């Protein structure tokens, strides 16, 4: 079953990386797995911040005794490659570029392919947050040459929360193997975890894995494979278009420019004069429908409407539009 | 539901510590949670090692840039309080004593109450591994004045793996609040996690918790509460006695002295001339019964027969004895 999970994750990530596993903890631990294994004290990491999760990356870097060079873009904007290039140029000591592919806090997609190409140009590896992007929008780990990529089980995979798919390129593995210091976390030290996930016969004990959740992940991945990634991506786009048309009719505006909008996470401006919390509770209590509040800089200003994985269906779009029309009337 | 989980965990741990939660990852992460929050670089920790998990504690201490003073006892023996006292006396700079209450690798119980009293005498806090002891044998966090205690969901709680109950005393919280350096792990930084678990109205977002597993833990804890801890402890002792009598009849010897034997984890010597792996596969394939192999120093020499939580039942003891008799004949 674990070998199948690995092969199916390779398909989902579009990679042949042999190191493709599920970390036994949520996406935040997947993020920490990438940083704690690839970053050493004293290293310099260029971190792109255009929402909550870029700032969490900074926390990870600083707690490791490394230096984070921040590249800031406004919440609701994509990471600007020109700013990233300027930072890479100004910091030749940087060894890693870290960015979020799909910002869950704002609904913005950044151009992972372009950012990764820049990183290579300046001899940096990439750490890429794909928590919300995996399976929802095209993500091509090998074609784009991403190095350390983590995701979460509970977004577009529609699995239970608590697992974090992670894949590491050969260059990432090489960097880990050349470390001068030991990985600060025993639990997340991937050189130890690999003995458990390697398919070469014997699996060495590292920790007790959340096996029930792994079975759930297996089933989620089988369903993605059955539908096919291209069709899954298209379904997310189609449902987004349907939602967009309906929201336009209701006079609700998107916060994010169409060119960088995530179909699976629709961040919209709360209409003037509307009570944010009251509407969300009414949707939940009367329609059994939960939409996300704004996070951080967008708290009180935005709603985030998810259309992820299993939830990206016609009936959910209809329910959401009907309920919003009813509640806002 | 989370407030109920907290209250039920307080009951299981026999504590009134307000900080009593379930870490969103397996027991190994619970261990790391205690070390990463309580230990700072440069600290000295006295670590008792009488099996696999004491050595994992050493790994935790060293990766944090702290010094581990090891107190070794043979695998299969309890931690010797005299050796511990000698180490505490020789290392007045030590601020923490770490030990395993119930060593899962050997089936040995150490005297947590005595060890904790020694720690207090030498001004040390305690970090205590109760992964296998919680609910299976008496564990009295408040009465014994233990400071940082972690366990696992999948042992005597009979829940799915992937959660680690943790409780911290006020003294442990004080030590965390007086830290001079930030906690190395963002994911396991309990000052952040507390905002999510505190019952004071609003729960602040930290990470997406494995909610399905938390519901499972809730149900496991409700079952423990319904039976009552005293009765649960007695049931584990009774089933152990039944198993012991049967194993004696089969000529199978326990590895651990009766006075420090864990009823829920029965480590026995593999009889002479018996093929370890063959017997275990036969039990698994023909009787749907899995017994544990020896770990570390006991690999190939011991079987570990679990009678934990829901599994500590007459029918399981009978099945185990009947199957062993059949296979070994």
Domain shared by B70 and B130, yes or no: yes
pLDDT at residue B202 tops 90: no
Tell how far CA B133 is from the center of its chain: 5
Asked if residue B209 has pLDDT above 80, the reply is: yes
Question: Has this prediction a pTM greater than 0.90?
Answer: yes
| CATH at B320 | 3.90.1150.10
Q: Does A274 share its domain with A159?
A: no
CB-based contact B63 A208, cutoff 8 Å: no
What would the pLDDT profile of B148-188 be if each residue is shown by its tens digit?
999 999 999 999 999 999 999 999 999 999 999 999 999 99
Tell me if B29 and A211 make a contact (CB, 8 A cut-off): no
Three-state SS at B71:
strand
Let me know whether B31 and B174 are in one domain.
yes
Whether B161 sits inside 8 A of A186 (CB atoms) is no
Give the best residue of A53, A61, A162 to mutate against chain B (max B CB count within 10 A).
Answer: A162
Subunit contact A208:B154, Cβ cutoff 8 A: yes
B182 contacts A63? CB cut-off 8 A:
yes
Residue B295: per-residue pLDDT:
87
Torsional sign, CA B140, B146, B152, B155 = negative
CB pairs under 8 A between A and B: 117
| Yes or no, beta carbons of B186 and A161 under 8 Å apart | no
Which among A63, A162, A208 has CB closest to B184? Answer: A63
Backbone angles phi, psi at A309, to 5 degrees: 55, -125
Q: Could you tell me if B303 and B203 lie in one domain?
A: no
> What is the domain extent for residue A255?
228-328
Is-contact B142 B17, C-beta < 8 A?
yes
Mean pLDDT of B292-296: 91
Domain end (from B165, B199, B225):
B225
Q: Are residues A141 and A192 in the same domain?
A: yes
| Structural contact between residues B88 and B57, judged by C-beta atoms closer than 8 angstroms | no
pLDDT at A199: 64
Which of A171, A201, A225 is the last residue before a domain boundary? A225
Q: Where are the beta strands (DSSP E) in B233-284?
A: 265-269
Please give the residue of chain B at the shortest CA–CA distance from A105.
Answer: B205
Nearest CA in chain B to A58: B186
Q: Domain with A89 in it: what CATH number?
A: 3.40.640.10
Measured CA to CA, the distance from residue A296 to residue A52 in angstroms comes to 7
Predicted local distance difference test score (pLDDT) of residue B39: 97
Encoded tokens for B247:
């194993």
Q: Inter-chain contact B207–A27, Cβ cutoff 8 Å?
A: yes
Considering its fold, how many domains does chain A have in total?
2
What ipTM does this complex have?
Answer: 0.93
Whether residue B192 is predicted with pLDDT greater than 90 in this model: the reply is: no
Could you tell me which residues of chain A have a Cβ less than 8 Å from any Cβ in chain B?
24-29, 31-32, 36, 56, 59-60, 62-64, 152, 154, 160-162, 182-187, 205-213, 216, 295
Looking at residue B270, the DSSP 8-state letter turns out to be P
Q: Which chain B residues touch A62 with a CB distance below 8 Å?
A: 182
Nearest to B185 among A32, A152, A210 (CB): A32
Q: Which residue of A has its CA nearest to B25?
A: A25
User: Do residue B208 and residue A60 have CB atoms under 8 angstroms apart?
Assistant: no
Residues of chain B with C-beta less than 8 angstroms from the C-beta of A216: 212
B161 vs A contacts (CB less than 8 Å): 208-212
pLDDT of residue B71: 98
- Quote the crossing angle between the two packed helices A2-13 and A211-227, to the nearest 10°: 50
- In this structure, the answer to whether residues A238 and A184 fall within a common structural domain is no
* A219 shares its domain with A247: no
SS3 assignment, position A181: coil
Please tell me whether residues B218 and B241 are part of one structural domain.
no
Q: Which residues of chain A have pLDDT under 50?
A: none
Please give the full DSSP string across A208-243, using - where no structure is assigned.
Answer: ---HHHHHHHHHHHHHHHHH-HHHHHHHHHHHHHHH
- The answer to whether residues B250 and B152 belong to one domain is no
Query: Which residues does B contribute to its contact with A (CB < 8 Å)?
Result: 24-29, 31-32, 36, 56, 59-60, 62-64, 152, 154, 160-162, 182-187, 205-213, 216, 295
Q: Read off the pLDDT of each residue in B122-149 and give the average, rounded to a whole number.
A: 98
Average of pLDDT values for B274-280? 96
Distance CA A100, CA A103 (A): 6
In this structure, the answer to whether residues B245 and B123 fall within a common structural domain is: no
**Do B32 and A162 lie within an 8 Å CB cutoff?**
no
Residue ending a domain, among B225, B248, B263, is B225
- Per the structure block, which two tokens stand in for A22? 């599920």
CB contact under 8 A, B161 and A209: yes
pLDDT in tens, B106-131: 999 999 999 999 999 999 999 999 99
Instruction: For A306, list phi and psi in degrees, rounded to 5.
Output: -85, 135
pLDDT higher than 80, residue B257: yes
Tens of pLDDT, residues A114-171: 999 999 999 999 999 999 999 999 999 999 999 999 999 999 999 999 999 999 999 9
- Higher-pLDDT residue of B12, B202: B12
SS3 A64: coil
Banded model confidence at residue B198, pLDDT cuts 50, 70, 90:
confident
Residues 6+ apart with CB under 8 A from A126: A96, A97, A98, A99, A115, A116, A119, A146, A147, A148
Together in a domain, A67 and A6:
yes
Q: Are residues A73 and A147 in the same domain?
A: yes
- Contact state of A25 with B25 under an 8 Å Cβ cutoff: yes
């Amino acid at each position: 079953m674990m070998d199948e999970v690995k092969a199916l994750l390779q398909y989902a990530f579009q990679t042949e990386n042999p190191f493709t596993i599920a970390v036994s903890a949520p996406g935040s631990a997947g993020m920490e797995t990438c940083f704690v294994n690839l970053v050493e004290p004293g290293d310099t990491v260029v971190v792109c911040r255009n929402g909550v999760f870029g700032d969490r990356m900074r926390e990870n870097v600083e707690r490791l005794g490394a230096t984070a060079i921040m590249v800031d873009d406004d919440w609701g904007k994509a990471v600007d490659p020109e700013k990233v290039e300027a930072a890479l140029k100004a910091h030749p000591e940087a060894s890693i570029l870290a960015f979020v592919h799909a910002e869950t806090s704002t609904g913005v997609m950044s151009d992972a392919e372009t950012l990764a190409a820049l990183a290579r140009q300046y001899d940096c590896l990439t750490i890429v947050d794909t928590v919300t992007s995996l399976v929802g929008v095209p993500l091509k780990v090998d074609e784009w040459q991403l190095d350390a990529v983590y995701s979460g089980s509970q977004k577009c995979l529609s699995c239970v929360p608590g697992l974090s798919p992670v894949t590491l390129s050969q260059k990432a593995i090489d960097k880990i193997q050349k470390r001068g210091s030991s990985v600060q976390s025993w639990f997340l030290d991937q050189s130890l975890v690999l003995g458990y996930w390697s398919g070469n016969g014997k699996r060495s004990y590292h920790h007790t894995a959340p096996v029930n959740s792994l079975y759930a992940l297996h089933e989620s991945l089988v369903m993605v494979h059955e539908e096919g990634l291209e069709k899954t991506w298209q379904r997310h786009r189609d449902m987004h278009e349907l939602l967009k048309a309906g929201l336009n009719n209701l006079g609700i505006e998107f916060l994010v420019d169409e060119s960088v909008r995530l179909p699976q996470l629709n961040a919209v401006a709360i209409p003037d004069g509307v009570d944010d919390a009251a509407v969300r509770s009414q949707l939940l209590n009367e329609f059994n429908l939960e939409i996300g509040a704004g996070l951080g800089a967008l708290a009180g200003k935005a709603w985030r409407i998810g259309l992820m994985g299993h939830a990206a269906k016609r009936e959910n779009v209809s329910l959401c539009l009907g309920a919003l029309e009813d509640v806002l009337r």
